[in-house]
A and B are shown apart, each in its own frame.
Chain A
Amino acid sequence: MSSIAATGKRGFGSFLWDYLTTVDHKKIAHLYIAGGAFFFILGGIEALIIRIQLIKPENDFVSAGFYNEIITMHGTTMIFLAAMPIMIGLMNAAIPLQIGARDVAFPFLNSLSFWLFMFGGLLLNVSFMTGGAPDAGWTNYASLAMNSSGHGVDYYIAGLQIAGAGTLMGGINFLATVVTMRAPGMTYMRMPLFTWASFITSVLILFAFPALTVNLFLLMFDRMFDSAIFDVALGGNTIIYQHLFWIFGHPEVYILILPFFGAFSDIFSTFARKRLFGYTAMVFATMIIAFLGFMVWAHHMFTVGLGPVANSIFSVGTMAIAVPTGIKIFNWLFTMWGGQLKINSAVLWALAFIPSFTIGGMTGVMLGSAVADYQYHDTYFVIGHFHYVIVGGTVFGIFAALHYWWPKMFGRVLNEAMGQVTFWLFFIGFHLTFFIQHFLGLMGMPRRYWVFLKDQGLELGNVISSIGAFFMAAGVIVFVYNIIHSAAKGEKADADPWDARTLEWTVSSPPPYYNFEQLPLVRGLDPLWIEKMEGDGKMSPGEPLDDVHMPNNSFIPFLMGLGFFIAGYGFIHQTDNSLWYIALYGGMAFSIGCMVVRSLKDDYGYYIPKEELQKAVEEEAK
């Protein structure tokens, strides 16, 4: 294994096999980012189709039915198959290194999480080719979803159930990792903010995804097996779906943003060359946001008729979340104040995030007023709001974090000039597209309608909004080119290209497959910076040099994902033809068989001999 890494020469076949069977968090990070990027492009194409359809009134670029599929898939893909996987990929890349660990707590489970995402996402998108994608909105409310003909909604259920299981496993994995695998001296209050935020996000994942799991099961039972949970004629109740969906859905949007809050904290302190202002407050603010995030879900249901008492409680709770969020915004500003902020692509994205996310948060408080929401609900005002927070928060965060950690993940620095071109194109396009949508909503344009009518004053706004989409597309194309260019001709990165503060910058770029020859001894917050300021710029070892226990690769996660994919496909089509039960039972049996094989067959991993690590230590010293 080490000889391949040393010479860097191996065939494409062995490269592919390595990635198909890897349990290494660093390679799994690559897989998540590549997979997420692929689905981001798909979701982006779906967005362009929406904006082309809406470029003029009563357009017929696509049919009404197909438009419903496109808006559903745009939302579902962007949230579940693009933003979350890239986020989990970044968590995989950074967390073990930031806490001084050699991998996550459950490497096999980590790989399984990825393949479940991949196969779930593929299942969801296969629907386009087999009779139609899901078309009941990314929220897939029970009444519409129950009556949606064709199999689209069934694909939604099966695809998300599979991918969601992977995410839940990932949440448990990161929780256990942070609890048990911190390096000597790395107390909780010395962890970088990205790790803290990801840890808290993992708690959110743990508690939010089971509600989605149950909801999807109940919907599946109703659609495929004629049960009556949501069937009003037999006493069912569709509000149950809404509650369960948003009890998952609201924490989900905090899941999408909190890790990037953490990434921005790391980025600001690194490039301002100043420690994070108010570290403790930042940690607790993140916890408060997470806690409150579970108590406000019904603000998505103000117009359902829950009554004034319920609406008031959720309204107040929603506005309360602005407080800890505001604390964080101010602390980022105070971190930069008095520092020597270096401007580069990562920093540009971080700087742009602050006003953009704040605008989104502000419109969120407007929406949080239950009374006013009766006017805003189901209009483009809502679409403007959530794109400001998701794109202005999560997507900007993705770009910033990718620029920041790219050298560590891939050993190359992304080209700075192209990075800035991407930034400006995307930033301008983003505001063009979504700022105007607030006004379109206030002027009465409803959401999820495939056309709007002439002579209602909506034409100019929609044209501007659509032009912005093409700016964003151009920015993404430049970014993709940047990636390819840097892979081919980019400057190689050394261990610490940014003169940074945290442990991941103490190992080479990319790190050796075992991360650390000896786990480092952490002396305080920003451990690398302490060594730079008060020591020799290098970490001291926190453990003696010894053989290192590593996990073996395994093809089983891929096979399990494949089995569930086949089972899912069988589940969906068994209502058409009973022969599909073979796929259903066969796929399930195959995956369960893989689990049994994994449980019964011995796999104790392997040991890296002390001598190899000794040699690496000596080479570094030279």
Chain B
Amino acid sequence: MSQEHSNLFPDVMPDTPERVTHEGKNKFFGLWFFLGGETVLFASLFGTYLALKNSTAGGPSSEEIFGLELVFVMTMLLLTSSLTSVYAMYHMRNADFKKMVLWLSITGLLGTGFLAFEVYEFAHYITEYGFSFRSSAFGSAFFSLVGFHGGHVLFGLCWLLAILIRNAKRGLNLYNAPKFNTFSLYWHFIDVVWVFIFTVVYLMGKVG
């Protein structure tokens, strides 16, 4: 019983520490299944966006307002944060708690950077172009889709903060390894959704 909470070291580290305990298996499957549902959720938002992206109600269209440079920077930030979370899990499997926390923190910083740019982008649209949530169906659909994704990023960052705080003094053990892995899977999924957002919304928005 107490083995679950005792710190892990490289020589006793199982191959997949996040799935060795029963709770670990449950969290693993639970999150993957949740991601299956999230796929349908984002598909509904994407579909709504695709149906409405040309309904500009006389306002600005996607070609006019999207700035690809900003989107590129945001993409690099999020993609890199995905890699850093892979690094974090690599260190977790090597039972290196300190390095795992380091790389997870970098992940969080990159994610925060992404969000900051996104907030700036939204504010820019609203103030410069009058392009808002209410200005047209295109606007409502855009802000719903990209906003929901941003909301997921925000939730992920809060989650990351909570698990880092909670486990700061505990080290790595079989009880919290699944928690870190579950977060990491969620974070990767957020990045997958972003890949489709920058492709479908921004890149195709510019192609017209």
Contact = CB atoms under 8 A, between A and B. Distances in A.
B137 interface: yes
Given A213-B41, A214-B44, A228-B139, A172 B30 contact: yes
Contacts of A455: none
B38 A180 contact: no
Interface in A278-332: none
A215 B137 contact: no
B132 to A, nearest CB: 9
B162 A600 contact: yes
A215 B25 CA distance: 32
Interface string B29-50: 1100110111011001101100
B182 interface: no
Contact of A207 (B5, B37, B52): B37
B55 interface: yes
A176 B33 CA distance: 8
Contacts of A213: 41
Interface in A162-208: 168, 171-173, 175-176, 179-181, 206-208
Interface of A: 105-106, 168, 171-173, 175-176, 179-181, 206-211, 213-215, 217-218, 221-222, 225-229, 231, 233-237, 240, 243-244, 247, 547, 549, 596, 599-600, 604, 607
B33 A228 contact: no
A519 to B, nearest CB: 12
A105 B40 CA distance: 23
A600 B26 contact: no
Contacts of B144: 217-218, 221, 227, 229
Contacts of B165: 600
Contacts of B22: 180-181
A547 B2 CA distance: 13
A607 B137 contact: no
Given A236-B55, A236-B140, A599-B162, A168 B37 contact: yes
A571 to B, nearest CB: 16
A549 B165 CA distance: 26
A260 to B, nearest CB: 23
Nearest to A210: B41
Interface string B18-30: 0000100110011
B141 interface: yes
Interface string B132-158: 011111111101100000000000000
Given A215-B44, A229-B52, A549-B1, A235 B37 contact: no
Given A229-B52, A229-B144, A209 B137 contact: no
Nearest to B140: A227
Given A240-B51, A549-B1, A210 B137 contact: no
B37 to A, nearest CB: 5
B16 to A, nearest CB: 14
Contacts, number: 122
Contacts of A173: 30
Contacts of B163: 599
- Main secondary structure, interface of A, reads helix
B141 to A, nearest CB: 6
Contacts of A228: 57, 134-137, 139-140
B137 A236 contact: yes
4 A-B pairs closest in CB distance: A235-B55, A210-B41, A235-B137, A227-B140
A214 B45 contact: yes
B166 to A, nearest CB: 5
B52 A244 contact: no
B196 to A, nearest CB: 15
Interface in B100-133: 133
Interface in B151-186: 162-163, 165-166, 175
Contacts of A236: 52, 55, 137, 140
A401 to B, nearest CB: 25
Contacts of A233: 57
B56 interface: yes
Nearest to A599: B162
Contacts of A168: 37
A249 to B, nearest CB: 13
Given A105-B26, A210-B44, A237 B51 contact: yes
Contacts of A208: 40
Nearest to A214: B44
Given A222-B140, A240-B52, A600-B162, 5 more contacts: A168-B37, A214-B48, A233-B57, A235-B136, A244-B47
B52 A172 contact: no
Contacts of B36: 206-207
A229 B140 contact: yes
Nearest to B29: A176
Contacts of A181: 22, 26
